[in-house]
Structure formats: C-alpha cells, structure tokens
Amino acid sequence: MPPVPTAAHDSDDVRAAAAGDRHAFQRLYTLHVGRVYGALQRLAGYDHARAEDLTQEAFIRAWQKLPGFRHESAFGTWLYRLAVNVALMDIRARGADPVSVRDNELLPDPGETPFCAAERGELEQAIGQLPPRARAVLVLHDIEGWRHEDIGDELGMAVGTSKAQLHRARSLLRKALGERS
Amino acid sequence: MNEFEWRRQLRELRQPAAPNRDLWPAIDAALDGAAQAATPVQALPSRQRHWLLGAGLAASLLVAGGLGWRLLQAPPGNANTPAISNWKPADPRFAGAAIELDAARMELELAIRQAPDSAGLQRLLRRTEQQQAQLRHLADRAS
C-alpha cells in the first residue's frame, strides 16, 4: 500500500491530540481531511453526502483511538487506513453484492470489450454506478494501489474473490463507458 | 486505448478532495460525547479467555479426582501407603499449606519406595518434613 504523504511536523499535534488537546486535533483534521475525504468519496461512489458522513465518522474514531496510536507508522497512513476501514465496514454492514460465478458469466470477456478513453467526470460517474463491493475492490486496487491480500483481509474475502470482484468491476466499468461512447 | 493508459487514467483519480462543507463543527460537537479510549489494555480475546477458563477447570478436576482416587486407594493402616498426617492446624490460615505439605510428603514417600537409593528424593523428603515442622511451629505461635 503506498504511503500517504504527511507533514513531518504533525507528530507534536498527534501527541497533544492523544492527550486530549482538541485544537491540536483540529489542526490534524485540516491537514489530512483532503486525503481522507478523497479516498472515502471514491469508495462511496462519489456520493458526497455519504462521503461526508464517513469522513466525520473516521475522524471521531481517530479521536477515540488516538491514545492507542503507537507511532509505528506515519499518522497520515494510520488515519487513512482507519478511514478506509470505516468505509469498508459500512459496505460490509450493508451486505452488498456478493460476487457469484453466474454474475461473471453474464459479463463480457474483458478481451472483447475495448478500453475506452473517458473524461474524468464520466469515469467517476461510471465508478459510482458500480455495485458497492466491486467498486471497493476496484478503487482499492486500481486507484489506491492496494494488493489483493490486503483487500481480502479488510473486506473479509478470499484473495480469489477479490480478483473476481476486480474482474467484474472492470468489465462493468468498460461496458458502462463503452455504451456512452 | 491500451490497458496501461486505462490504468493510468484510473490512478489519476487518486487525488485529495475537499468536502462541500466544513465538517469540523460537526466533528467537534460529536467529540464531546466521544470519550477517548483509556490506555489500551491487552485483554485476552473472548475465545482465549474461555479456553483458559476451561483448561483451568479441567486441571482442577483432574487434580481433585486424582487426589480422591489416591485417598480411596490408601485406607488408614495400610502398611503399603504412607499415612496421612493427623495434624490439622486450628488456625484456618495454615490449613491449606498443611494439606499441600502433607500431600507432597506422601508423594515423596511413595516415590522413595520405587527408588529407595535416590538421594535427591531423600533430600526433598527431609526438606518437606522440615517445612512441616516450621509450619507447626508457626501455627503453635499463632494460636
């Protein structure tokens, strides 16, 4: 998983916030909210209201868990991971779209569907229409750069299932973009 | 468009984004009711606690059963088994230690019958008997 760029000087604020300093935590919020919201927005399928709720939930959880932060990783990385977990827990709680062999059989073979150039807005809209679990795998793998092993761990699925979901998500995405072009 | 360009296009989506509104006031308000976790305690997982509880119970039953069986097999006056001490301290604080030491002495006497030449067992028996004597002395002083 690629590291999240963080400011080197936030460690003082992290310690102060862990000790209960609300102003220090606000500075951390200001520094990291863009990164957190960006990831959660993608996982929420560009549903801005949902992404905002998840962002709030992520920062509240971070505040609660800060005393246990061990400084073994950068705070930004820890916060990013925690925020993604919040979004994935939300997806799991909804019990969304378990993949099945039948689903994959109905999809076009990726080799038959051409890759389509798309404007950023079109791409985001197409990602937003993917089933939540397939979207999570596509976002984490193809955009966030996670490995299937990590995705499987976080989503409680086997590596093979994660690969199947990615295959499904890519096929659906290409199909959606192809129909528009 | 090849797959490399397609993947590049997806990766370009990995950018920070600003929420449409300032989320801090709502977060700040929610923090009032969200207490920070105290210093984390490494509590055992529930499954592990249950396992330890079960193992402890099983061990206790095994020891109790073994001791009961041993006592049933050793009726008073049987010359082949060591005699249980008749001494019972009046002070209940010494009762547990007296039972433990008596049981240890019995075990050692049985073991010595199997290996009469074992200097180590003889030494342990003497030490146990000394501890029993000390316990009696302490119990007498306390009463």
Give per-residue pLDDT as tens, A126-173: 999 999 999 999 999 999 999 999 999 988 889 999 999 999 999 999
User: How close B42 comes to chain A (CA, Å)?
Assistant: 11
Looking at residue B108, its amino acid is L
Cα separations in angstroms, A41 against A84, A96, B17, B83:
10, 17, 8, 80
In angstroms, the CA B87 to CA B95 distance is 10
**Are the beta carbons of B34 and A142 separated by less than 8 Å?**
no
- pLDDT of chain B along its 143 residues, tens only? 677 787 888 889 999 999 999 999 999 999 987 777 654 444 444 444 454 455 555 555 555 565 556 555 555 544 455 665 667 777 777 777 888 788 888 888 888 887 888 888 888 888 888 888 888 888 887 77
Interface test with A, best of B31, B39, B41 (most A CBs within 10 A): B31
- Cβ neighbours of A35 in B, within 8 Å: 16
Could you tell me which chain A residue has the CA closest to the CA of B23?
A56
Asked if the model's pLDDT at residue A15 lies above 90, the reply is yes
- Cβ neighbours of A26 in B, within 8 Å: 24, 28
Total beta-carbon pairs less than 8 A apart between chain A and chain B: 95
**pLDDT on residue A87:** 95
**Are the beta carbons of A67 and B28 separated by less than 8 Å?**
no
Q: What is the mean pLDDT of chain A?
A: 84
H-type alpha helices, A21-100: 22-43, 48-65, 75-93
Measured between CB atoms, which of B11, B20, B36 is closest to A143? B11
* φ, ψ (nearest 5 deg) of residue B68: -65, -45
Half-sphere CA count of A155, side-chain side, radius 13 A:
33
Residue A52 confidence class, pLDDT cut points 50, 70, 90: very high
Per-position b or e across B9-39, b if 16+ CB within 10 A of its CB:
bbeebbeebebeeebbebbeeebeeeebeee
Instruction: Name the 3-class secondary structure at B42.
Output: coil
Q: Does ipTM surpass 0.90 in this model?
A: no
In angstroms, the CA B35 to CA B43 distance is 19
**Are the beta carbons of B17 and A41 separated by less than 8 Å?**
yes
**pLDDT on residue B95:** 78
**Are the beta carbons of B11 and A68 separated by less than 8 Å?**
no
Could you tell me which chain B residue has the CA closest to the CA of A17?
B36
**pLDDT on residue B40:** 44
* φ, ψ (nearest 5 deg) of residue A42: -65, -45
Q: Is the dihedral of CA A105, A106, A107, A108 positive or negative?
A: positive
**pLDDT on residue B49:** 47
Q: Are A162 and A148 in contact (CB under 8 A)?
A: yes
**pLDDT on residue A112:** 46
Higher per-residue pLDDT: A117 or B21: B21
- Torsion angle of alpha carbons A109, A113, A118, A123, nearest 10°? -20
**pLDDT on residue B44:** 44
**Are the beta carbons of B17 and A60 separated by less than 8 Å?**
no
**How is residue A139 annotated by DSSP?**
I
Residue A103 confidence class, pLDDT cut points 50, 70, 90: very low
In angstroms, the CA A40 to CA A88 distance is 9
Higher per-residue pLDDT: A125 or B44: A125
Task: Name B23's Cβ contacts closer than 8 Å, sequence gap at least 6.
Answer: A29, A33, A37, A52, A55, A56, A59
**pLDDT on residue A9:** 64
